[in-house]
Amino acid sequence: MTHLFNDPARFTDDMLVGFLDAHARYVVAVPGGVVRTRKTRPGKVAVVIGGGSGHYPAFCGTVGPGFADGAVVGNIFTSPSSEDASSVARACHGDSGVLLITGNYAGDVMNFSLAVDQLRREGIDAHYLVVTDDIASAPEGEEAQRRGIAGDFTVFKCACAAAEAGLDLRNVIRVAADANAATRTLGVAFGGCTLPGADSPLFTVPQGKMGVGLGIHGEPGISEEPLPGAEGLAEALVDGVLGDAPRGGTKRIAVILNGLGRTKYEELFVVWGAVARLLRVRGYEVVEPEVGELVTSLDMAGCSLTVMWLNDELEKYWCAPADTPAYRKGAAMTDDGAVRSAVQYEAAAPARQLSQLSDDAGRLGGQYVAQALDAVAKMLADAEDELGRIDAVAGDGDHGRGMVKGSSAAREAANMAVEAGAGQGSVLIAAGARWAAEAGGTSGVLWGSMLSAIGERLGDIGIPDSATIAAAMRAGYDAVKHLGGAAPGDKTMLDAMLPFVEELQRLVDDGQPWSQAWTAAAGVAGEAAKATADLRPKIGRARPLAERSVGTPDPGATSLAMCARVVADCFVLTPKRDC
Please state the closest distance from residue 89 (CB atom) to its own copies, in A. 10
Q: Does 91 bind its own copies (CB under 8 A)?
A: yes
Q: Does 303 bind its own copies (CB under 8 A)?
A: yes
How many residues in the shown chain lie near its own copies by CB under 8 A?
A: 173
Strand runs labelled E in 199-294? 209-212, 223-226, 252-259, 285-292
Q: Which of residues 193-222 bind its own copies (CB under 8 A)?
A: 195-196, 198-199, 202-203, 207, 210, 213, 215, 217-220, 222
Q: Decide whether 73 or 507 has the Cβ nearer to its own copies.
A: 73
Angle at which helix 169-181 crosses helix 151-164, to 10 degrees, equals 150
Q: Does 542 bind its own copies (CB under 8 A)?
A: yes
Q: Which stretch binds its own copies (CB under 8 A): 31-39, 305-313, 371-379, 569-577?
A: 31-39
**Residues 6+ positions from 318 with CB-CB distance below 8 Å:** 154, 157, 158, 161, 254, 287, 288, 308, 310
* CA dihedral sign, ordered 165, 166, 171, 173: positive
Q: Look at residue 352 and give its three-state secondary structure.
A: coil
Q: Does 523 bind its own copies (CB under 8 A)?
A: no
Q: Decide whether 31 or 513 has the Cβ nearer to its own copies.
A: 31
Q: Look at residue 183 and give its three-state secondary structure.
A: strand
Q: Decide whether 16 or 533 has the Cβ nearer to its own copies.
A: 16
Is residue 69 a contact partner of residue 49, using CB atoms and an 8 Å limit?
Answer: no
Is residue 71 a contact partner of residue 324, using CB atoms and an 8 Å limit?
Answer: no
In Å, the largest CA–CA distance within the chain is: 105
In the list 168, 235, 273, 287, the residue contacting its own copies (rule: CB under 8 A) is: 273
Q: Does 240 bind its own copies (CB under 8 A)?
A: no
User: Nearest 10 degrees: CA dihedral of 470, 473, 474, 475?
Assistant: 120
Distance of CA 507 to the CA centre of its chain: 51
In the list 47, 126, 181, 326, the residue contacting its own copies (rule: CB under 8 A) is: 326
In the list 45, 52, 295, 454, the residue contacting its own copies (rule: CB under 8 A) is: 52
Is residue 106 a contact partner of residue 77, using CB atoms and an 8 Å limit?
Answer: no
Edge-to-edge strands of the sheet including 46-53? 27-30, 33-36, 70-76, 46-53, 98-103, 126-131
CB atoms within 10 A of CB 177: 13
Looking at 127, 217, 399, 482, which residue is catalytic? 217
Q: Decide whether 361 or 483 has the Cβ nearer to its own copies.
A: 483
Q: Which of residues 391-410 bind its own copies (CB under 8 A)?
A: 392, 394-398, 401-402, 405
Q: Which of residues 446-485 bind its own copies (CB under 8 A)?
A: 446, 448, 483-484
Q: Specify the amino acid at residue 449.
A: S
Establish whether 217 is a catalytic residue: yes
Please state the closest distance from residue 430 (CB atom) to its own copies, in A. 13
Q: Which of residues 98-157 bind its own copies (CB under 8 A)?
A: 105-107, 109-111, 114, 118, 134, 136-139, 142, 145-147
Q: Decide whether 245 or 539 has the Cβ nearer to its own copies.
A: 539
Residues labelled as active-site residues = 217
